[in-house]
Structure formats: C-alpha cells, structure tokens
Chain A
Amino acid sequence: MPPDTSIVYTPRSEASQSIRVIRPASLSLTDLAGHVQSLTRHAGLIYTLSEHRIRVRYKQSMLGVTWAIVQPVALMAMYTMIFSFVAHIQTNGIPYPIFVFTGLVPWTYFSTALTAGTSALVSHSNLITKVYFPREILPLTYVIVGLFDFLIASSLLAGLILISRVPVNANILYVLPVIAIMTMFVIAMVLILSATQVRFRDVGLGMPLLLQIWMFATPIVYPLSAVAKLPRPLGWLYRVNPMVGMIENFRRTVLQGMAPDFAILCVSMVVTIVLLPVAYLYFKRVESTAADVI
C-alpha cells in the first residue's frame, strides 16, 4: 500500500482549554441557557440535516416540491365538496374553497411537523446510540421542513388571494407573530411527544387519531363564529386549545384584513410560553438516558 500523506494533523497547543463537565441529569431552569447555547453551536448541523431531509423527501418522487401543496389542495377540494355543497357552512361571504384553504395551509404545517417530529428520535435510534449531538435537533429539523413546505403552500395561497381579489391591508403583517407563536408551539409539542415516544411507542400510534380530533376542534373547516353556542364546559375547553387562536387569527389577518383577535391569541401565547421551556427541560431529561432505552 502506498504511504498516505494526504492528511497532516496539526499539533495541539498545550494551552487550549474548553472544559465541559458532565453530571447526572437534573431538572433545573438554570440549565436552560446552557442547552440553548449548545444548540446554537450546532446551527450548521441543523441546517445540513434540514436541507438533506428536504432533498431526500423529493429525491425519488416525480412531483417533487409540488407535494407540499398537493395535500392542502386535495383536502380543500374534499372539504369544499362536503361543507359547501352538503352541509352549507356559512363563511361570511368568503368563497368556501379560499376560506378552507386558508385554514388548511397552517394546519398542514402543524400536523405534518407534529407527525414527523414525533418519531424523530425513534427513527434515528442508530444515530442516537452512536454519536452525540443535541438530540432536539432531530425533531427541530422536521419543524423546519414543515415550515419550508408551509412557505411553498403559502405562495399558492397568495396567488389564490390575488386571483379572487380578496382585499388585503396592513393587518396581514400580524400573520408573522402568529406563525412565530405557532412554530414555537409546534416545537414544544414535538419535543414532548418525541421524547415520550422513546419509551411509549403508543404516542406514534395515537397521532393520527389525535390530529383528526384536534383538527375538528379547531376552526378550519368552519368559522369560529359557528361554535359560539357550544355548551359551557365544552366551549371553555375549546378556547383553551391554542390552535384556535392561531388558525383563526391567521385567517382574520390574511383573508379578512382584520386585526387579530387578541383575546384568543393571548391563550395561544400563554400556553406556548409556559409549555416551551417545560417541554425543553423534559426533553433534555429524557435525552440523557434515551440511548439506553430507545
């Protein structure tokens, strides 16, 4: 074998120091900053992994990126059929296809990110037992891929809005904080569910059912005004659902040119702000022994 001279390792300087201490897992809020810091050091990995996920997904498919819009468009057609012609849902004068599509685009983002992100740890068990990197990167990349698809579907939505001459005003800018809150909420959910699935695979099995129920408990195929007359405990429960504030406000700002309904948006925000750090700590706690039980 010819001698190999292609790599020359540079000697390590005596003085270089970057001390890291590993201790048994704990559950304290003070660790949170450290976790976030270590996550930012891995920004390159987040980028590479997300990029590859997108590539892999479309590598052997013919429609390629158009798959990102096939699902919401097909659902739009189906729900239009059911709720416009069969059930005659009132949508305050907005054409039903556009009405439902505006709900389906953010919902599809939420549900696909949640479904894929929930199995993120379990489906990478061979990696988790062999290499260390902050494990939250795995579910996070699925959220990023979902966001990517969401942007593609949103451009179609923008086209639809232009064609059907729905008036648009400055209130549409409120859509950005709505999406930001939704993304944080998805991250929180995905952290909790993917960590839980390491031990209990039931989580993955229950996802389709959970999402089905959740979808109908959110004003997507019907306007929020349609559930005003829900009986007491049910109505109260409905309003705790953080997705209500996000989907409804997405639609209000994009389609109706109105300022967001801050009351329900507050619910979404409070739930998200409380849930995210808790979810992250829980995830980190599970992570410390995930390689042992996965």
Chain B
Amino acid sequence: MIDLRFDRVSKRYLIPHEAENHGSSHPWMRKLRSLWRTPREFWAVREVSFEVKRGEALGIIGHNGAGKSTILKLLASITAPSAGEITINGRAAALIEVGSGFHPELTGRENVYLSGSILGMPRNEIGQKIESIIDFAEIREFIDIPVKRYSSGMYVRLGFAIAAHLEPEILLLDEVLAVGDMAFQRKCLDRVRALRQAGRTIVFISHDLNAVEALCDRVLLMQRGEVIADGPPGEVIGQYKALATKGTTSPFSGIGAVREWRDLDVRGDRVVRLRRVRVCGEDGATMSAVDIRHPVGIEITYDVLEGGHVLVPTVHFFNEARLHVFGVLDLEPEWQGRPKSAGRYVSTAWIPGNFLAEGCMIVDTDVATLAPFEAHAYEKDVVTVRVFDPMSVDSARGEYTGPFPGVVRPLVRWNTYVSCDGSRT
C-alpha cells in the first residue's frame, strides 16, 4: 500500500525584485515598479516523483538548498505545490521544530494542550496522555510554571515529549534530532525506531548521514530540486559523499585541496616565499577527500631567498568548530640544525591513517625559525582536508555506525586478559 505519492511535483518560489536604485527616481516609484515587474522565479523542486510504501522509512539527503526541506513542507501541507499532485494516505505529523507553538506566558501544562492541539492531537487524547508526557519530559515539578522560566533543556524536553506522544500514521522529521545533547538525541532516535517497528511510515530529512543510514530503508538524493538517486541507504549515501568531495559543501567554501601563489601575489618575507600547498595521498596525487584509514600528506613548496637560516616547516590543523586540533613541526634529523641554502624546497608532513576524526579540517602552514622564533611565511586557511569513513569495519569505528564525537580518532592497541576465570568461582 502506498502512503505517500509525489506525482511530478514542482514548487516555484517567486523572488520579488528588490527596489533597485535606477538613477534618481523617487523611492516610491521604484517600489511601485518592483510591484508590476515579474518577479524572478526559483524552482526549489522540479518534477519530482516518488512513492513511499506503508511502513517504509525514507531518508532524503542533499546539500543545503537541494530541495529537501521544501519536499517536507509540501508533504506537511505547510506550502502548496506549484504543479503536480501529492497524495497522502493517513494522518501525517511533521516535526520540523521541537516546541512548535509554545507560548512563553503559559505554564508547561497549558502548553502541552496548546502545542498538542496545534500538532493535531485531539483534546481528550491530550488529557489521557498528559501524565505520561510530563514523566517523559522529566519536569513534573515545573509543569505548572510558565515555560518562559524554563531552561532551554527543559523546553526542548517538553517539546519532544509532546511530539513523542503524537501517534501519526506518517511521521515527517526534519533535522529535529540535531538538537539537544547526545542522550537526548538517542532518546529521539529510540522513539523514531519504536514508531518504525509499529509499522508507521517515516520520512526523515537530515544532514546526519549516520542517522539516515541507521534509520532508513531507502534514501533519495536531491540536487538542485531534482532527485538524482533513489535506492538503498549505503549506495545513495556513497553517491552523496562522492558528490560532496567535489568540494561544494565545504564549510570552508572556496578553500580547496591546492593553493598556489604567483609572483604577483607573494606570501612570506625576505627569507621565505610560499609557492604552493596541497593535500596529497600516499601516491602523491592531490586529493580533497581522504579515507580515514589512509595517511594524508600536507605538502609545502617554498623558495628560500636568503640562505643560512635553520627553517622548520610547520602545519596546524583546525576543525569545523575552529578548534586548534594540533600542530606539527618538521623535526626530521636530516634537517635538524642544518641551515638551508637559497633554492626551492618541498616538505611534506605525513599524518598517519586512523588518526584524524571524520569531517572537515582546515590547515594553516608556516615556515619558521625556532630559536629565536620567527614566522617567515605564516599563512591562514590554506587548504582543507575532508576525512570520510567508508564504514568498512577496519577503521576505528569497528562495526559502530552512530555519531562518533572527538577531535581526533586514533585506532589504538588494546589489551585484555582474563584475570579471573568465572568457572572457578
């Protein structure tokens, strides 16, 4: 049985022309003109067709602006399609934001009724479930004070407790699992799994590929408003990663795997000039996406203009949260205490496999004299390294596929021995 059907659905947004400043005309005239000029069109979703069977969990992934959220808004009836037809069989509830419809002046209890009604729960059903909701949110002692006095954690817990008690036949989820701490996220996932086991249909939109993979039977990959892949999670997520490594989704957008400087754009001082920095694999090929299990090199090419200095190339790694994860100095014995004469040099720092965490790292480089310290060519945000885990069991993850926090992810040696044989006691 088909629960959801998209039949050649398109959604067009009209972007009104800004009241542009043409010459010296009066601002009112410009506003009037912008009213009758045809607005610019933007097709967020183009002729998308798909079906979701009853009990199926469908994930939708794609870059920001690919049309994922628009699909969810169309499914949730928040906005109407511009063309095509959507068929929904069953009571659908969209969870686009936890705590939708809370009013700060009302107490927690009153807000349960308010938010519950807005999310489509009948009043008598709320009455039956309110005790369970309060327990689930773990805020019994605060339930009769206005939610404006709640901590953000209590607010989110109450919001989710209401959502968890909805019993939609079709659940539409948008990135809600991304709020709250780890324990809360796990609680959310558990609830969604319970719904799945009860045979409810789920549409889940997320950037968290691990969650999508863990939860969904099928995944759609969207790009520029069109579905470009539809299939089992592993396959489609692999395609998405291949797409992502083309560098279009980097949070450090515009910074790639290679950076070169021409003569007109010199970096450095009278001693050192930077020529090129790139990210490379073991085979020496430039690469922006690195398998977490393989070593990655940061190669710095630089000209020494003034000979006689002991120069130490340096590389610093920062993660997406701008945390300085670590820095490395070239301390190889070959060049220890040995001044470099004028000429071109290529130094590569090798970061071992199974050491960096998944995600995007940005690299600063320098060529410095250490004692007394002098930075000759410090350059910020030079290249980015994107580390991905192919989820084959030989990385530091083993068979675990869930969220894996931490700024580095070394694969370390473990040692376990039987200290007391249970059969003897």
Chain A residues engaging chain B, CB cutoff 8 angstroms: 1, 4, 6-12, 14, 16-25, 44-45, 47-49, 52, 55-56, 59-60, 126-133, 288-289, 291-292
Contact between A12 and B198 (Cβ–Cβ < 8 Å)? Answer: yes
Contact between B164 and A7 (Cβ–Cβ < 8 Å)? Answer: yes
**Complex: how many Å from CA A132 to CA B97?**
12
**Complex: how many Å from CA A138 to CA B364?**
54
In the bound complex, residues from chain B placing their C-beta under 8 Å from that of A56 are 103, 105-106
Contact of B200 among A9, A22, A47, A130 (CB under 8 A): A9
* Chain A binder among B72-80, B374-382, B384-392: B72-80
Contact between A7 and B79 (Cβ–Cβ < 8 Å)? Answer: no
Chain B 1-35 interface mask (CB, 8 Å, partner A; 1/0): 10000000000011000000000000000000000
Q: Given known contacts A4-B136, A131-B119, A288-B80, is B165 in contact with A10 (CB within 8 Å)?
A: no
Contact between B123 and A130 (Cβ–Cβ < 8 Å)? Answer: no
In the bound complex, residues from chain B placing their C-beta under 8 Å from that of A129 are 73, 78
**In this complex, what residue of B is CB-closest to A44?**
B123
**In this complex, what residue of B is CB-closest to A57?**
B105
**Complex: how many Å from CA A48 to CA B14?**
35
* Chain A binder among B86-94, B297-305, B319-327: B86-94
**In this complex, what residue of A is CB-closest to B114?**
A52
In the bound complex, residues from chain B placing their C-beta under 8 Å from that of A45 are 117-118
Count residues of chain B with CB under 8 A from any CB of chain A: 58
Contact between B79 and A291 (Cβ–Cβ < 8 Å)? Answer: yes
Contact between B88 and A20 (Cβ–Cβ < 8 Å)? Answer: yes
Chain B 169-206 interface mask (CB, 8 Å, partner A; 1/0): 10000000000000100110011001101111000000
**Complex: how many Å from CA A21 to CA B87?**
4
- Offer 13 A-B interface pairs, CB within 8 angstroms, sorted by A: A7-B165, A7-B194, A9-B200, A11-B198, A20-B87, A23-B80, A23-B86, A44-B123, A45-B118, A52-B113, A56-B103, A56-B106, A131-B101
Contact of B167 among A1, A10, A21 (CB under 8 A): A10
Contact between B96 and A4 (Cβ–Cβ < 8 Å)? Answer: no
In the bound complex, residues from chain A placing their C-beta under 8 Å from that of B113 are 48, 52
**In this complex, what residue of B is CB-closest to A132?**
B77
Contact of B78 among A14, A21, A48, A132 (CB under 8 A): A132
Q: Given known contacts A11-B199, A12-B200, A131-B94, is B82 in contact with A18 (CB within 8 Å)?
A: no
Q: Given known contacts A1-B183, A127-B100, is B198 in contact with A21 (CB within 8 Å)?
A: no
**Complex: how many Å from CA A45 to CA B114?**
8
**Complex: how many Å from CA A291 to CA B13?**
11
